[in-house]
Amino acid sequence: MKQPTAIITGISRGIGRACAALFLEEGWKVVGTSTSGKAPFEANSLEIYALDLANPENIQEFALDIRKSYPKVNALVNNAAILVESWSSSEVSLDILRHTFEVNFFGTVHLTEALLNTLQPGAAVINLSSGWGTFSDPSFSAEVPHYKMSKTAINMYSKLLAHRLKDREIKVHALNPGWVKTDMGTSAATKSPSMAAKEILNAIQNSLPTGSFLNGNRIGTY
């Protein structure tokens, strides 16, 4: 079987870094991105691009390079995201909201749409989401509003995209990795990035109904 290709955003740290390492270990070609264009590791099957999801021109340039160099993509993992607000604040700042949506939603949607023609039948799109972005969150609170709203929007985009791509046999999932030990999740989190990476790979390889909201390996509720 030909080596499959995965595009993974935000591989310089956290879940993205763990994903890239796992996919490489499993024999994938990984096209990774970070804002700096660097990653803390190297591999023969790894190529790294600089990508700023808040920069539409950068997204267009990246997508053009991918369409030329990697016209057959088997997985797109939209991992890169930001959380720039206080965990204890419920106030809405339009500046923070715009900045958060520019990366977490508009940048992710722009990138995905620009790469749709590279996705092969049987490919998967995994949009990293959060339980905070669901209406079914049992521990709902008003704190962290900007990040939560951005992930709610990503959840809807995931469902819409799943319907659009169903006839092309491309599956789309929003995946909540839970509370993970990352810069965003802090060291107090209960889950390792490597465990989240395994759940992402499982979501790509398993025959789950497209459009699912996944809590790790389990189908949850939006």
CATH number at 52 reads 3.40.50.720
Report d(CA 53, CA 39) in Å as an integer. Answer: 17
pLDDT tens figures, 207-218: 999 999 999 889
- The reported pTM is 0.96
Residue type, 100: T
Please state the rounded mean pLDDT for residues 40-66. Answer: 97
> Could you tell me the sign of the dihedral formed by the alpha carbons of 156, 116, 13, 65, in that order?
negative
Please state the rounded mean pLDDT for residues 80-86. Answer: 96
**Which uninterrupted H or E stretch holds 203?**
helix 193-205
- Residue 72 token pair: 């057959």
Q: Where in the sequence is the domain holding 103, given as residue range(s)?
A: 5-219
Report d(CA 159, CA 52) in Å as an integer. Answer: 25
pLDDT for res 189: 65
Please state the rounded mean pLDDT for residues 124-135. Answer: 96
pLDDT tens figures, 89-110: 999 999 999 999 999 999 999 9
Please state the rounded mean pLDDT for residues 21-32. Answer: 98
Instruction: Report whether 119 contacts 63 (CB < 8 A).
Output: no
pLDDT for res 28: 98
DSSP 8-state symbol, 26: T
Centre a 10 Å sphere on the Cβ of residue 153 and count the other Cβ atoms it contains: 18
Strand, helix or coil at 128?
A: strand
Please state the rounded mean pLDDT for residues 178-199. Answer: 82
Report d(CA 8, CA 97) in Å as an integer. Answer: 24
**Which uninterrupted H or E stretch holds 122?**
strand 119-128
pLDDT for res 217: 84
- Residue 61 token pair: 């340039």
pLDDT for res 62: 98
Strand order in the sheet with 29-34: 46-50, 29-34, 5-8, 73-78, 119-128, 171-176, 213-215, 218-219
pLDDT tens figures, 138-185: 889 999 999 999 999 999 999 999 999 999 999 999 999 987 878 777
Instruction: Report whether 48 contacts 34 (CB < 8 A).
Output: yes
Q: Name the average pLDDT for the chain.
A: 95
Q: How many domains does the chain have?
A: 1
Instruction: Report whether 65 contacts 42 (CB < 8 A).
Output: no
pLDDT for res 1: 62
